[in-house]
Homo-oligomer: A and B are copies of this chain.
Amino acid sequence: MYTVLSGGVGASRFLQGLVQVVPPRDVTVISNTGDDVEMFGLYVAPDVDIVTYALAGAVNPATGWGLAGDTLAVVGALRRFGYPDWFNLGDIDLATCLHRTRLLREGMPYHAVTAEIAAAWNVEVRITPMTNERVTTRIFSADGEIPFQEYMVRLRGEADVRQISFDGIESAKPAPGVLQAISDAGVVIFAPSNPFVSVGPILAVPGISEALASTRAKKVGVSPIIAGDVVKGPAARMLRSLGHEVSALAVAKIYAASLDAFVIDEQDRALKPSIEALGLECYVCDTMMTSDQRKAELAADTLAAAGVRP
Protein backbone atom coordinates (compact mmCIF):
# COMPACT_ATOMS: atom_id res chain seq x y z
CA MET A 1 0.00 0.00 0.00
CA TYR A 2 1.30 3.41 -1.03
CA THR A 3 0.01 6.59 0.53
CA VAL A 4 0.81 9.93 -1.08
CA LEU A 5 0.46 13.36 0.54
CA SER A 6 -0.51 15.50 -2.39
CA GLY A 7 -0.94 19.02 -3.64
CA GLY A 8 -1.95 19.81 -7.21
CA VAL A 9 0.06 19.89 -10.41
CA GLY A 10 3.42 18.48 -9.25
CA ALA A 11 1.79 15.74 -7.22
CA SER A 12 -0.58 14.79 -10.02
CA ARG A 13 2.34 14.31 -12.41
CA PHE A 14 4.13 12.17 -9.85
CA LEU A 15 0.98 10.09 -9.39
CA GLN A 16 0.70 9.59 -13.14
CA GLY A 17 4.08 7.91 -12.83
CA LEU A 18 3.29 5.94 -9.70
CA VAL A 19 0.26 4.23 -11.25
CA GLN A 20 2.53 3.01 -14.05
CA VAL A 21 4.70 1.09 -11.59
CA VAL A 22 2.28 -0.11 -8.90
CA PRO A 23 -1.39 -1.17 -9.11
CA PRO A 24 -3.61 1.94 -8.89
CA ARG A 25 -5.82 0.16 -6.35
CA ASP A 26 -2.85 0.04 -3.98
CA VAL A 27 -2.48 3.84 -3.96
CA THR A 28 -4.18 6.26 -1.58
CA VAL A 29 -3.89 9.99 -2.19
CA ILE A 30 -4.39 12.28 0.80
CA SER A 31 -5.17 15.56 -0.89
CA ASN A 32 -4.63 19.03 0.44
CA THR A 33 -7.93 20.89 0.72
CA GLY A 34 -6.62 24.19 2.02
CA ASP A 35 -7.00 25.61 -1.51
CA ASP A 36 -10.71 24.80 -1.55
CA VAL A 37 -12.78 27.86 -2.24
CA GLU A 38 -16.38 28.80 -2.78
CA MET A 39 -16.58 30.51 -6.14
CA PHE A 40 -19.80 31.36 -8.01
CA GLY A 41 -21.57 29.59 -5.15
CA LEU A 42 -19.75 26.37 -6.06
CA TYR A 43 -17.44 24.34 -3.88
CA VAL A 44 -14.21 24.29 -5.88
CA ALA A 45 -11.50 21.84 -4.80
CA PRO A 46 -8.51 22.56 -7.04
CA ASP A 47 -6.03 19.99 -5.72
CA VAL A 48 -8.54 17.17 -5.43
CA ASP A 49 -9.75 17.79 -8.97
CA ILE A 50 -6.30 18.17 -10.52
CA VAL A 51 -5.35 14.77 -9.14
CA THR A 52 -8.64 13.23 -10.25
CA TYR A 53 -8.38 14.58 -13.78
CA ALA A 54 -4.70 13.67 -14.09
CA LEU A 55 -5.34 10.09 -13.00
CA ALA A 56 -8.34 9.95 -15.35
CA GLY A 57 -6.01 10.92 -18.18
CA ALA A 58 -8.17 13.97 -18.79
CA VAL A 59 -6.10 16.81 -17.39
CA ASN A 60 -5.01 19.61 -19.67
CA PRO A 61 -1.35 18.74 -20.30
CA ALA A 62 -0.47 22.34 -21.18
CA THR A 63 -1.53 23.79 -17.83
CA GLY A 64 -1.42 20.77 -15.52
CA TRP A 65 -4.86 21.73 -14.22
CA GLY A 66 -8.29 21.82 -15.79
CA LEU A 67 -9.42 19.53 -18.56
CA ALA A 68 -8.04 19.04 -22.02
CA GLY A 69 -10.41 20.65 -24.51
CA ASP A 70 -12.59 22.29 -21.90
CA THR A 71 -14.53 25.46 -22.76
CA LEU A 72 -15.30 28.60 -20.75
CA ALA A 73 -18.92 29.30 -21.65
CA VAL A 74 -20.27 29.55 -18.10
CA VAL A 75 -17.54 31.73 -16.60
CA GLY A 76 -17.81 33.92 -19.67
CA ALA A 77 -21.55 34.29 -19.10
CA LEU A 78 -21.04 34.90 -15.38
CA ARG A 79 -19.11 38.11 -16.08
CA ARG A 80 -22.45 39.74 -16.84
CA PHE A 81 -23.19 39.40 -13.13
CA GLY A 82 -19.93 40.98 -12.01
CA TYR A 83 -17.91 37.89 -11.15
CA PRO A 84 -14.11 37.98 -11.35
CA ASP A 85 -12.79 37.37 -14.83
CA TRP A 86 -9.56 35.65 -13.79
CA PHE A 87 -10.95 32.41 -12.37
CA ASN A 88 -11.10 30.28 -15.49
CA LEU A 89 -13.09 27.30 -14.33
CA GLY A 90 -13.89 25.30 -17.46
CA ASP A 91 -17.36 24.00 -18.20
CA ILE A 92 -16.57 20.31 -17.67
CA ASP A 93 -14.65 21.23 -14.53
CA LEU A 94 -17.62 23.30 -13.39
CA ALA A 95 -19.89 20.28 -13.82
CA THR A 96 -17.70 18.40 -11.33
CA CYS A 97 -17.98 21.32 -8.92
CA LEU A 98 -21.76 21.50 -9.37
CA HIS A 99 -22.07 17.83 -8.50
CA ARG A 100 -19.76 18.20 -5.48
CA THR A 101 -21.68 21.24 -4.26
CA ARG A 102 -25.03 19.50 -4.57
CA LEU A 103 -23.87 16.39 -2.73
CA LEU A 104 -22.21 18.39 0.06
CA ARG A 105 -25.34 20.51 0.51
CA GLU A 106 -27.37 17.33 0.75
CA GLY A 107 -25.13 16.25 3.60
CA MET A 108 -22.86 13.65 2.03
CA PRO A 109 -19.46 13.75 3.76
CA TYR A 110 -16.67 15.27 1.69
CA HIS A 111 -14.61 12.08 1.53
CA ALA A 112 -17.60 10.17 0.16
CA VAL A 113 -18.30 12.92 -2.38
CA THR A 114 -14.67 12.81 -3.47
CA ALA A 115 -14.77 9.04 -3.86
CA GLU A 116 -17.97 9.25 -5.89
CA ILE A 117 -16.48 11.85 -8.23
CA ALA A 118 -13.30 9.81 -8.68
CA ALA A 119 -15.40 6.73 -9.48
CA ALA A 120 -17.40 8.69 -12.05
CA TRP A 121 -14.08 9.59 -13.68
CA ASN A 122 -13.07 5.89 -13.57
CA VAL A 123 -10.14 6.58 -11.27
CA GLU A 124 -9.05 3.48 -9.37
CA VAL A 125 -6.66 5.29 -7.04
CA ARG A 126 -8.33 6.13 -3.77
CA ILE A 127 -8.42 9.91 -3.43
CA THR A 128 -9.42 11.39 -0.10
CA PRO A 129 -9.46 14.91 1.24
CA MET A 130 -7.15 15.39 4.21
CA THR A 131 -10.20 16.34 6.28
CA ASN A 132 -13.95 16.60 5.85
CA GLU A 133 -13.90 19.88 7.76
CA ARG A 134 -13.40 23.18 6.06
CA VAL A 135 -9.78 24.36 6.27
CA THR A 136 -8.76 27.53 4.45
CA THR A 137 -5.18 28.44 3.70
CA ARG A 138 -4.66 32.16 4.22
CA ILE A 139 -1.82 34.09 2.67
CA PHE A 140 -0.56 37.36 4.10
CA SER A 141 1.80 39.72 2.32
CA ALA A 142 3.26 42.94 3.70
CA ASP A 143 0.11 44.64 2.36
CA GLY A 144 -2.28 42.33 4.17
CA GLU A 145 -4.22 39.23 3.27
CA ILE A 146 -4.51 37.97 -0.29
CA PRO A 147 -7.32 35.44 -0.81
CA PHE A 148 -5.64 32.18 -1.75
CA GLN A 149 -6.98 31.75 -5.29
CA GLU A 150 -6.22 35.40 -6.02
CA TYR A 151 -2.68 34.74 -4.91
CA MET A 152 -2.36 31.54 -6.93
CA VAL A 153 -4.36 32.37 -10.05
CA ARG A 154 -4.69 36.11 -10.46
CA LEU A 155 -1.24 37.02 -9.12
CA ARG A 156 0.35 33.70 -10.24
CA GLY A 157 2.15 33.58 -6.90
CA GLU A 158 3.91 36.87 -7.64
CA ALA A 159 3.77 38.30 -4.14
CA ASP A 160 6.05 38.08 -1.14
CA VAL A 161 4.40 35.93 1.47
CA ARG A 162 5.09 36.95 5.06
CA GLN A 163 2.78 34.58 6.85
CA ILE A 164 0.57 31.58 6.16
CA SER A 165 -2.21 30.25 8.34
CA PHE A 166 -4.79 27.50 8.04
CA ASP A 167 -8.20 28.64 9.21
CA GLY A 168 -10.19 25.89 10.86
CA ILE A 169 -7.20 23.59 11.28
CA GLU A 170 -7.49 23.27 15.07
CA SER A 171 -10.91 21.67 14.88
CA ALA A 172 -10.25 19.67 11.70
CA LYS A 173 -10.16 15.91 12.01
CA PRO A 174 -8.47 13.62 9.50
CA ALA A 175 -11.07 12.37 7.02
CA PRO A 176 -12.25 8.79 7.65
CA GLY A 177 -9.55 6.40 6.48
CA VAL A 178 -6.73 8.94 6.41
CA LEU A 179 -4.98 7.80 9.58
CA GLN A 180 -5.37 4.17 8.59
CA ALA A 181 -3.95 4.88 5.13
CA ILE A 182 -0.85 6.22 6.88
CA SER A 183 -0.57 3.48 9.50
CA ASP A 184 -1.24 0.62 7.06
CA ALA A 185 1.02 1.90 4.28
CA GLY A 186 4.29 0.27 3.34
CA VAL A 187 5.48 3.57 1.89
CA VAL A 188 4.29 7.12 2.55
CA ILE A 189 5.37 9.62 -0.08
CA PHE A 190 5.43 13.39 0.22
CA ALA A 191 4.78 14.33 -3.41
CA PRO A 192 6.88 17.04 -5.09
CA SER A 193 4.45 19.70 -3.92
CA ASN A 194 4.72 23.03 -2.16
CA PRO A 195 5.83 22.31 1.42
CA PHE A 196 3.95 25.31 2.85
CA VAL A 197 0.58 25.36 1.14
CA SER A 198 0.23 21.82 -0.28
CA VAL A 199 1.85 19.31 2.07
CA GLY A 200 1.90 21.82 4.94
CA PRO A 201 -1.86 21.90 5.51
CA ILE A 202 -2.02 18.09 5.47
CA LEU A 203 0.68 17.85 8.13
CA ALA A 204 -1.12 20.48 10.18
CA VAL A 205 -4.34 18.48 10.50
CA PRO A 206 -4.32 17.31 14.13
CA GLY A 207 -3.46 13.62 14.27
CA ILE A 208 -1.71 13.30 10.92
CA SER A 209 1.80 14.12 12.16
CA GLU A 210 1.28 11.69 15.02
CA ALA A 211 0.19 8.97 12.59
CA LEU A 212 3.28 9.65 10.47
CA ALA A 213 5.49 9.43 13.55
CA SER A 214 4.05 6.06 14.58
CA THR A 215 3.61 4.32 11.22
CA ARG A 216 6.03 1.58 10.26
CA ALA A 217 5.87 2.82 6.66
CA LYS A 218 9.01 4.10 5.03
CA LYS A 219 8.50 7.85 4.54
CA VAL A 220 10.03 9.41 1.45
CA GLY A 221 9.79 12.95 0.15
CA VAL A 222 10.43 14.16 -3.37
CA SER A 223 11.90 17.63 -3.69
CA PRO A 224 9.74 20.16 -5.55
CA ILE A 225 12.85 22.33 -5.90
CA ILE A 226 15.35 21.52 -8.63
CA ALA A 227 18.55 23.53 -9.03
CA GLY A 228 17.22 26.38 -6.92
CA ASP A 229 13.92 26.77 -8.69
CA VAL A 230 10.51 25.20 -8.94
CA VAL A 231 9.00 23.62 -12.04
CA LYS A 232 5.58 25.13 -11.41
CA GLY A 233 3.94 27.23 -8.73
CA PRO A 234 5.07 29.75 -6.16
CA ALA A 235 7.23 27.53 -3.92
CA ALA A 236 10.54 29.21 -4.85
CA ARG A 237 9.44 32.77 -4.12
CA MET A 238 7.55 31.56 -1.07
CA LEU A 239 10.65 29.85 0.37
CA ARG A 240 12.64 33.04 -0.19
CA SER A 241 10.10 35.45 1.22
CA LEU A 242 9.61 33.27 4.28
CA GLY A 243 13.36 33.40 4.97
CA HIS A 244 14.52 30.05 3.62
CA GLU A 245 17.05 29.45 0.90
CA VAL A 246 15.55 28.21 -2.34
CA SER A 247 16.94 24.72 -2.50
CA ALA A 248 16.10 21.06 -2.09
CA LEU A 249 18.08 21.25 1.15
CA ALA A 250 15.71 23.89 2.55
CA VAL A 251 12.73 21.64 1.76
CA ALA A 252 14.54 18.67 3.33
CA LYS A 253 15.03 20.74 6.49
CA ILE A 254 11.31 21.54 6.65
CA TYR A 255 10.42 17.86 6.34
CA ALA A 256 13.38 16.38 8.26
CA ALA A 257 11.44 15.34 11.36
CA SER A 258 8.75 13.60 9.29
CA LEU A 259 10.77 11.69 6.70
CA ASP A 260 13.19 8.77 6.43
CA ALA A 261 14.45 9.59 2.95
CA PHE A 262 14.47 12.44 0.47
CA VAL A 263 14.72 12.33 -3.31
CA ILE A 264 16.59 15.15 -5.06
CA ASP A 265 17.57 15.88 -8.61
CA GLU A 266 20.92 15.06 -10.19
CA GLN A 267 21.52 18.78 -10.52
CA ASP A 268 21.41 19.02 -6.72
CA ARG A 269 23.78 16.10 -6.05
CA ALA A 270 26.12 18.44 -4.14
CA LEU A 271 23.41 18.84 -1.49
CA LYS A 272 23.44 15.12 -0.64
CA PRO A 273 25.87 15.31 2.30
CA SER A 274 23.98 18.23 3.86
CA ILE A 275 20.69 16.35 3.54
CA GLU A 276 22.23 13.21 5.03
CA ALA A 277 23.51 15.36 7.88
CA LEU A 278 19.83 16.07 8.70
CA GLY A 279 19.43 12.34 9.39
CA LEU A 280 17.74 11.61 6.08
CA GLU A 281 18.74 9.07 3.50
CA CYS A 282 19.25 10.98 0.26
CA TYR A 283 18.50 9.49 -3.13
CA VAL A 284 19.69 11.28 -6.26
CA CYS A 285 18.00 10.81 -9.62
CA ASP A 286 16.45 12.68 -12.51
CA THR A 287 13.33 14.26 -11.01
CA MET A 288 12.17 16.31 -14.03
CA MET A 289 8.83 14.77 -15.09
CA THR A 290 9.06 15.71 -18.74
CA SER A 291 7.34 12.61 -20.16
CA ASP A 292 5.18 9.72 -19.03
CA GLN A 293 8.28 7.57 -19.01
CA ARG A 294 10.17 10.02 -16.81
CA LYS A 295 7.20 10.16 -14.45
CA ALA A 296 7.27 6.36 -14.13
CA GLU A 297 11.03 6.39 -13.61
CA LEU A 298 10.76 8.98 -10.85
CA ALA A 299 8.07 6.89 -9.15
CA ALA A 300 10.27 3.80 -9.38
CA ASP A 301 13.26 5.76 -8.07
CA THR A 302 11.16 7.07 -5.18
CA LEU A 303 10.10 3.56 -4.26
CA ALA A 304 13.73 2.47 -4.54
CA ALA A 305 14.60 5.24 -2.08
CA ALA A 306 12.05 3.59 0.23
CA GLY A 307 13.77 0.23 -0.31
CA VAL A 308 10.90 -1.10 -2.45
CA ARG A 309 11.28 -2.72 -5.86
CA PRO A 310 7.81 -2.64 -7.36
A residues contacting B by CB (< 8 A) are: 40-42, 70-71, 73-78, 80-83, 91-92, 94-96, 98-99, 101-102, 105, 116-117, 120-121
CA distance A83 to B99 in the complex (A): 9
CA distance A81 to B297 in the complex (A): 34
Q: Which of B42, B83, B91, B117 contacts A73 (CB 8 A)?
A: B91
> A interface, by DSSP: helix, strand, loop or mixed?
helix
Q: Assess A74 versus B102: contact at CB under 8 Å? Given A80-B121, A121-B80.
A: no
- The winner among A70, A74, A120 for most chain B CB atoms within 10 A is A74
Q: How many copies does the complex hold?
A: 2
Closest to A38 in B: B102
Q: Which of B76, B91, B98, B121 contacts A40 (CB 8 A)?
A: B98
Q: Assess A81 versus B120: contact at CB under 8 Å? Given A74-B74, A91-B74.
A: yes
CB distance from A60 to the nearest CB of B (A): 14
Q: Hey, which chain B residues are within 8 Å of A81, CB to CB?
A: 95, 99, 116-117, 120
Known: A41-B102, A78-B95, A80-B95. 5 other contacts (CB 8 A): A40-B98, A73-B91, A77-B91, A77-B92, A80-B121
| Interface CB pairs A-B, < 8 A, 19 | A40-B98, A40-B99, A41-B98, A41-B99, A41-B105, A42-B98, A70-B73, A71-B91, A73-B95, A74-B74, A74-B95, A75-B95, A77-B96, A78-B99, A80-B95, A81-B95, A81-B116, A81-B120, A82-B120
CB distance from A278 to the nearest CB of B (A): 45
CA distance A119 to B120 in the complex (A): 38
Closest to A73 in B: B91
Closest to A104 in B: B41
Q: B94 near A74 (CB under 8 angstroms)? A: yes
- The winner among A70, A94, A101 for most chain B CB atoms within 10 A is A94
CA distance A40 to B213 in the complex (A): 43
CA distance A42 to B74 in the complex (A): 14
CB distance from A50 to the nearest CB of B (A): 16
Q: A92 near B120 (CB under 8 angstroms)? A: no
Q: Which of B40, B73, B96 contacts A92 (CB 8 A)?
A: B73
CB distance from A145 to the nearest CB of B (A): 21
Q: Hey, which chain B residues are within 8 Å of A105, CB to CB?
A: 41
Closest to A81 in B: B99
